[in-house]
């Protein structure tokens, strides 16, 4: 019996969290050609960063199911400069249309994280500055991070998942993947 596999993948902008393409979005098969691995959790096509794939159903559930409270770390480029009140609101949980979020860890990243260029680039407006925020959550509702930053008055311009639990993006270029050993 082959041991379970765990793959770290840096999902580029415009790629779905599924193997088959759909509409204007590409699928994972353009980057990963491995039989028997499945996505553990989702990342929207317009988001970037760490996606884990595994051949182990129990591990897939532990990663994806909010009941296991595996932390997910996001680097979020937002419109405007969040003040302490906006960050405090994120930390205490914000009310979304589907109910309140759990409290999150939130801080401004200054300096901004060293990230790759996005293609296409984000929309920037000369009169409105942008800032990077690190947001760490333990749930994963549909477009939750984007809705949270919008709820505190700072719409998301770019969203990168930097880590899931102990697994990080470190050392992975966009579109690259590697098997986690041990």
- Averaged confidence pLDDT in the chain: 93
In tens, the pLDDT along 144-160 reads 999 999 999 999 999 99
* Residue appearing with tokens 């999902």: 11
Instruction: Find the catalytic residue in 44, 56, 65, 83.
Output: 44
> Which pTM was predicted?
0.94
Within the chain, where are the H helices? 57-64, 84-92, 144-151
Domains and CATH numbers, the chain: 6-64 (3.30.70.580), 69-164 (3.30.70.1560)
* Known active-site residue 44: yes
Query: Looking at residue 182, what is its pLDDT?
Result: 67
Q: 3-state class of 150 per DSSP?
A: helix
């Amino acid at each position: 019996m082959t041991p379970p596999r765990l793959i770290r993948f840096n999902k580029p902008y415009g790629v779905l969290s599924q193997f088959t393409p759909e509409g204007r979005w590409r699928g994972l098969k353009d980057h990963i050609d491995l039989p028997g691995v499945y996505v553990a959790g989702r990342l929207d096509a317009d988001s970037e960063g760490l996606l884990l794939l595994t051949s182990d159903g129990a591990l897939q559930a532990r990663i994806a199911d909010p009941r296991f409270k595996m932390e997910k770390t996001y680097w979020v480029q937002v419109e405007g400069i969040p003040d302490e009140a906006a960050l405090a609101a994120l930390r205490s949980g914000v009310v979304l249309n589907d109910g309140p979020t759990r409290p999150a860890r939130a801080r401004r990243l200054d300096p901004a994280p060293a990230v790759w260029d996005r293609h296409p680039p984000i929309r920037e407006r000369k009169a409105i500055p942008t800032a990077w925020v690190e947001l760490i959550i333990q749930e994963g509702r549909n477009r939750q991070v984007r809705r949270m930053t919008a709820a505190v008055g700072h719409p998301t311009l770019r969203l990168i998942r930097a880590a899931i639990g102990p697994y990080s993006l470190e050392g992975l270029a966009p579109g690259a993947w590697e098997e986690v050993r041990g």
